[in-house]
Amino acid sequence: MRYSETELIICVAARLMEDKKTAFIGTGIPMLAAALAQKLYAPNLVCVFEFGGTGARLEKLPLGVGDSRTFYKGIAASGICDIMETAQRGFIEYGFLGGAQIDQYGNLNTTVIGEYERPKVRLPGSGGANDVGSHCWKTIIIMRQHDKKRFVKKLDFMTTPGYLDGKDGREKAGLPPNTGPYRVISNLGLFGFDEETKRMKVISVHPGSSIEKIIENTDFELIIPEKVEITPEPTDEELRVLREEVDKDRLYI
């Protein structure tokens, strides 16, 4: 193929970003997606980084959320407490998250695999993920590998709330209303959530994938609408900008 799975995920994520909106950006794919969006789709996207950079122009790719490039030509340089308070006040519209496990309601595990006291794997933990998932209006979750070990019926540990047990679970838990997971992007497809039940549903199938392959690699029952689109492939312009301007040193792609 003329593009990789990672490049497809980046392009799909970039297309989801809206102009003149705020977005909480994490290390890796979200940075590339935000940079691509600024160059092609959302020139006035306000990128917000955990360590205080707000409104940076991503002309050079940062290596982390505390990199000096996350402040470049920004509108504010504050700190982590200010940024988290900004999210709590409802001023950050989009948030990007990832995880080792996700369930049908968009809850995420980034803490342990196995029992908490004696885990098979000890993961990095929450960082700012719980804050992002709790307070941003719409969260976009990136799962680079889609299989039954990652798309699970029951999390080994809930690090970040999605829709908890579905329906109005978030509101009952005291989280802000009308917030929560918006989209999930994996290497097999693009997913959303049912408005009433809050269960995960298929929106589009990536080229080379299929509904059957998605079902085979998911440990819970997905909602599958009658009409499922095929995800548009990355355009030549998206790939050119991504490879020649956003990540010309191939640090991530």
Q: Which two tokens stand for residue 80?
A: 């982590």
- Residues 137-153, mean pLDDT to the nearest whole number: 97
User: Is-catalytic flag, 50?
Assistant: yes
CB atoms within 10 A of CB 80: 15
Residue keyed to tokens 């990095």: 124
Contact yes or no for 163/138 (Cβ under 8 A): no
Q: Which two tokens stand for residue 161?
A: 């709330």
pLDDT at site 138 = 97
pLDDT band, very low/low/confident/very high, at 201 (cuts 50, 70, 90): very high
pLDDT in tens, 110-135: 999 999 999 999 999 998 899 999 99
pLDDT in tens, 6-53: 999 999 999 999 999 999 998 889 999 999 999 999 999 999 999 999
Q: At what angle do helices 5-16 and 29-40 cross, to 10 degrees?
A: 60
pLDDT at site 253 = 84
Q: Count of residues for the chain?
A: 253
Question: Among positive and negative, which fits the CA dihedral 203, 206, 210, 212?
Answer: negative
CB atoms within 10 A of CB 124: 10
pLDDT at site 206 = 98
- Residues 213-220, mean pLDDT to the nearest whole number: 98
* Long-range CB contact pairs, 28-35, < 8 A, 24+: 28/98, 28/252, 29/96, 29/98, 29/142, 29/144, 29/252, 30/96, 30/142, 31/58, 31/61, 31/62, 31/252, 32/61, 32/242, 32/246, 32/247, 32/252, 32/253, 33/96, 34/58, 35/61, 35/246
Whether residue 217 has pLDDT greater than 90 = yes
pLDDT band, very low/low/confident/very high, at 200 (cuts 50, 70, 90): very high
Whether residue 64 has pLDDT greater than 90 = no
Asked which of 41-55, 57-71, 179-193 is least confident by mean pLDDT, the reply is 57-71
- How many angstroms separate the CA atoms of 107 and 99, rounded? 9
pLDDT at site 14 = 97
50, 59, 221, 245: the active-site residue: 50
Enter the CATH code of domain 5-246.
Answer: 3.40.1080.10
pLDDT at site 156 = 97
Label the pairing between strands 46-48 and 22-24: parallel
